[in-house]
Chains A and B, each alone.
Chain A
């Protein structure tokens, strides 16, 4: 299932914007489908957006599961590197506190 970010939020600026996308991803994963998140038309995002949209998935899924079931397409190097950095960092923290 493709989730085109711009179909759901006007901008990718805040935690609330990211939460809208996070809920969409969780809905798709709960239906046992693969989530394909498209950043078509988006150039950059801040960490708050990534935290809400992607890092919050760690509350329910492992990092490995996320890597296997969530794809990010039509994106930019800024967005991709921030998603990887934030997820890696928080997944490590989850392991340490588990």
Chain B
């Protein structure tokens, strides 16, 4: 199988990611070639969540024995410099592009986290880092952390790979925290199809986000995870949750006092699931580590 050269889009965001993925993943969810060269010479902007996608895509190829190379990596371009600071090239090309490349204060660079390591990673890496950046007590992040636990449990339940790629970005300019978690499992619509009927992948995501709808008949986890995530992030904190899985996209955003859920089905395919969370930091309730008893 000859090598393929895949151009990375000029603007790499959730809309353009499909063309990049289609360049390397064939319809049957197998690599298009034994050797892939990502050409970054056109890239001028990369959405922070797309660093996760790119990293996960490379991981997916490497796990299938594909040789991966990068071309057109000029660190004078901001997008490339950002990826370099996220240690993308150090991780996948062997070394950073520049000697000064280092994670920025506002970035917790993408990292592949195995499910079995996710508890310790959330407790000992994610929480101290975000509490430090936001200057809040670690106890204030319990609700958010439990939401991420829900996503890792979904990966454990539904993904054959049992590994998620996570990237966290603090945007001081607009006060938002951006969290991306991606896996290349079978995808939510494929899982949902085992127990439900639906018209398309967008409708499958809408169904999966309902409280009490599980992808498994009589499932142990009872389908509460995604609903809790959306309630916590969107309903209580006025943030946004965007889910991309196979041909489906679901956007959950605040709409007055309610939650707007907009599901669409697109021609492109995301092999697995990507969850992007946007959370206004000001909505994080500052709490100290106070213990309490449950009152029924």
Structural contact, A84 and B294, CB atoms closer than 8 A: yes
The interface size bin for chain A is 20 to 34
Does B259 make an interface contact (CB < 8 A)?
A: no
The answer on a CB contact under 8 Å between B287 and A77 is yes
A46 lies within 8 A of B220 (CB): no
A23 contacts partner chain B, Cβ-Cβ < 8 Å: no
Interface residue? A32 (CB, 8 A):
no
A2 within 8 A of B: no
Task: Point out residues on A near B: beta carbons under 8 Å.
Answer: 11, 13-15, 40, 43-48, 51-52, 55, 67, 71-80, 82-84, 86, 89-90, 93
Q: Is the CB of A77 within 8 A of B225?
A: no
Q: How far is the CB of B138 from chain A (nearest CB, A)?
A: 8
- Give every chain A residue within 8 A of B295 (Cβ-Cβ): 80
Chain B min CB distance to A20 (Å)? 14
Q: Which residues of B contact A14 (CB under 8 A)?
A: 153, 156
Contact of B220 among A45, A48, A93 (CB under 8 A): A48
- Interface readout for B110-127 with A: 1 if CB under 8 Å, 0 if not? 000000001110000000
CA distance A14 to B153 in the complex (A): 7
Contact bitstring B128-151, A, C-beta under 8 A = 1, else 0: 000000000011001101100110
Is the pair B142, A78 in contact by a Cβ cutoff of 8 Å? Answer: yes
Q: Could you write out 30 A-B pairs with CB less than 8 Å apart?
A: A13-B153, A14-B153, A15-B220, A15-B221, A43-B138, A43-B139, A43-B142, A43-B289, A44-B142, A44-B145, A44-B146, A44-B149, A46-B150, A47-B153, A47-B224, A51-B220, A51-B222, A52-B220, A67-B296, A71-B294, A72-B294, A74-B291, A76-B142, A76-B290, A76-B292, A77-B287, A78-B142, A79-B294, A80-B293, A86-B224
CB distance from B13 to the nearest CB of A (A): 30
Q: How far is the CA of A51 from the CA of B287 in the complex (A)?
A: 26
Cβ-defined contact, B143 with A78, below 8 A:
yes
Give the shortest distance, in Å, between B259 (CB) and chain A (any CB).
16
Mark interface residues in B197-227 (1 if CB within 8 Å of A CB, else 0).
Answer: 0000000000000011000000011101100
Q: List A contacts of B221 (CB < 8 A).
A: 15, 47-48, 51
Docked pose: A97 CA to B16 CA in angstroms: 45
Interface of A is mostly: helix
Which listed residue, A11, A55, A67, A78, touches B146 by the CB 8 Å rule? Answer: A78
Question: Which of B119, B211, B222, B292 is within 8 Å of A80, CB to CB?
Answer: B292
Residues of A within 8 A of B290 (CB): 76
Using A73-B293, A77-B292 as known contacts, list a sample of 8 further A-B pairs with CB atoms less than 8 Å apart, ordered by residue number in A. A43-B289, A46-B149, A47-B222, A47-B224, A52-B220, A73-B294, A75-B291, A89-B211
Asked if B228 lies at the interface with its beta carbon under 8 angstroms from chain A, I say: yes
Cα distance, A2 to B59, chains bound together (Å): 46
**Chain B residues whose CB sits within 8 angstroms of the CB of A80 once the complex forms:** 292-295
Query: Quick one: given A14-B156, A67-B296, A89-B212, are A47 and B150 in contact (CB under 8 Å)?
Result: yes
Contacts of B153 in A (CB 8 A): 13-15, 46-48
Q: Which residue of B lies closest to A92 (CB)?
A: B212
Chain B positions 247-296 with a Cβ under 8 Å from a chain A Cβ: 287, 289-296
